[in-house]
Amino acid sequence: MRYFLELSYNGKNYHGWQVQPNVISVQEKINEGLSKLLRVPINIMGAGRTDAGVHALQMYAHFDVDNDIDTNLILDRLNSFLLEDIVIYNIFKVDGKSHTRFHAISRSYEYRIYLGRNPFLLDTTWQLYRNKLDVDKMNEAAKLLLNHDDFKCFSKSTDVNTYICDVTFAEWKRTDNLLTFHISANRFLRNMIRAIVGTLIDVGMSKVSIEDFKKIMDSRSRSEAGFSVPARGLFLTHIEYPESILKNE
């Protein structure tokens, strides 16, 4: 039997999503909770891998178990096992072939920048209080992402088969002192969003022109692109699946 989990987490205290030696991960903590509750070894498969310090407003993972389970009971008990910075919102049965990673249609992220100082947002925003940004120019450059497909220049990945991604939305929006970059695509490469944001910040500070931004993307060289912004401002916000998979949610 296969089940999907819908969850969110604050990534501050975790070395990313994926289980790794000698560090604490989100996946590890959920594996431990489910294994204790179901009394069999459980290894959940996530829809993606967030880096250390990155947050998720919506993440999906799946796991397999031999027998039907009481999802409401497991949901309540699992949350009681977990620390407060990981919350499971839903557990639901799916077709045995449904896969949280391979069947995701798109993923959406936000990068949050606070223009000023706010001690209550230190863990969830990158704070800029001395630099003025040309947001219109940053949005002009962001639009170019939709007509580009090879994102190697923004990636740390070296072991992937392709650097091709289909970016369907990319836009900066400002509400008072909060400047947020929204981006959606069918897939993302390691460090891709943080490198894109850093390069767009350079555009906003007039360090990189729109024409230079085009050349950076065409270069396919990470050394040509801008810096990677801190992880704490990045949120996985939404994962889209075919309706047929989520019909039992």
- Residues involved in catalysis: 51
Residue type, 177: N
Q: State the SS3 of 186-203.
A: CCCCCCHHHHHHHHHHHH
CB 135 within 8 A of CB 174: yes
Residue 66 burial (10 A CB sphere; 0-12, 13-18, 19+): exposed
Query: Cβ contacts of residue 44 below 8 Å, gap of 6+?
Result: 5, 27, 30, 31, 34, 61, 62, 63
CB 249 within 8 A of CB 180: no
d(CA 220, CA 227): 15
